[in-house]
Amino acid sequence: MTDTLFRIEGRAGHITLNRPEALNALTHEQVLAIEAQLLDWREDDAVELVLIDGAGERAFCAGGDIQKLYETGRAGDFTYGRQFWADEYRLNALIWNYPKPYVAIMHGFVMGGGVGVSALGSHRIVTDGTQVAMPECGIGLIPDVGGSMMLGCAPGRLGEYLGTTGARMGPGDAIFATFADTYVPAERIEALKTALCTDGIDAIEEFAEPAEKGPLQADMEKIDRHFGGETAMDIVRSLTHEGGAWEEAALAKMRKGAPLAVAAAVETIHRSRSLGRMEDALALEYRFTARCMERGEFLEGVRAAVIDKDRDPQWAVARLEDLPQVRVTQMLMPLGADELTFPAPAMVGATGRET
């Protein structure tokens, strides 16, 4: 079975992630194949738009395929992971800057790496059952694939909340948080795909409907009040000081993540707000991911969540209260000759994407 399906259907170049048994988790080979196809279609006048979806009912893409990352890292090979993340981030930048409409059908689980190949596109469609999240801190990573900038663009301090707790967004909240644009009911999704291929990008307007308001909007006063600190510990202190049921639940979600990752997530989201290009955010994220196996908590996070599945990670620093802030600085220091670079400056094409 082919992991990624590519074909031209009418006006659209159609990509389908085809690993439903793995919730369409994205492999390194898929990253390279999608990049090559997008570059080809970028120059093909027969392709007016790109449409990407996922096979199966459960997920568009639940993240990156971390099994090989874990195996190579455990063997002391950190080169494979660095190459995977470098190639993935370059694909993310290509999607962000793509000069043709890039339409993502974000059904089911859309998490981590799945966000990078959907929410960075120009037209993001959510539907019934959509669950969008950036849960990377739970495995010792930070929200990446451009997630730091996406979270930084969310209303108020919602980005800090989503990035440190891994909270899931339904269709209404995904639109509110600017991770998606349009809601289309599930029973009309297949008809929308057909219309996109036959009629072009304007078909979206015919299928769009108002999304039901999500619960996060009602929590914004609390989110802005507690998640506006300069560091993760500022957030912890605010939540602890008030100590209500909502605050206790939010703090419990934060404490499920690796303290180093949670603290670095806050820092990268803050820094992203002053960055001018998506490439800059991706390069900042890469500083962390390039170090996350050798100097971070990624391997232990994956062990607990995916390999042994005991859900009991033994973090090197168990609590945020015990984490020196200098550890965040060390994880985000420039990489010198190993800094992530991109093949060409960002370009603004037909979609007019700018940060």
For 94-152, what is each residue's pLDDT tens digit?
A: 999 999 999 999 999 999 999 999 999 999 999 999 999 999 999 999 999 999 999 99
Structure tokens at 296: 């971070």
**Higher-pLDDT residue of 354, 299:** 299
Which pLDDT belongs to residue 242? 87
Which pLDDT belongs to residue 343? 86
Is the pLDDT assigned to residue 18 strictly greater than 80?
yes
**Mean pLDDT score across all residues of the chain:** 95
Which pLDDT belongs to residue 345? 52
Average pLDDT, integer, range 214-222: 96
Question: Using 50, 70 and 90 to split pLDDT, how confident is the model at 352?
Answer: very low
% of the chain exceeding 90 in pLDDT: 95
Is the pLDDT assigned to residue 349 strictly greater than 60?
no
Q: Is the pTM of this model over 0.75?
A: yes
% of the chain exceeding 70 in pLDDT: 96
- Class of the CATH domain delimited by 136-154+217-339: alpha beta
Closest CA to 283 of 138, 152, 92: 92
* DSSP H helical ranges for 6-78: 28-42, 67-74
Q: Kind of pairing, strands 109-111 and 59-61?
A: parallel
Which pLDDT belongs to residue 348? 41
Average pLDDT, integer, range 48-66: 96
Reported as type and span, the H/E element at residue 327 is helix 326-331
Per CATH, which fold does 1-133+171-213 belong to? Answer: 2-enoyl-CoA Hydratase; Chain A, domain 1 (3.90.226)
pLDDT digits (tens, 9 = 90+) for 262-271: 999 999 999 9
DSSP 184-235: --GGGHHHHHHHHHHH-TTHHHHH-BPPPPPGGGGGHHHHHHHS-SSSHHHH
Average pLDDT, integer, range 232-247: 95
- Return the domain boundaries, the chain: 1-133+171-213, 136-154+217-339
Average pLDDT, integer, range 292-306: 96
Average pLDDT, integer, range 63-86: 95
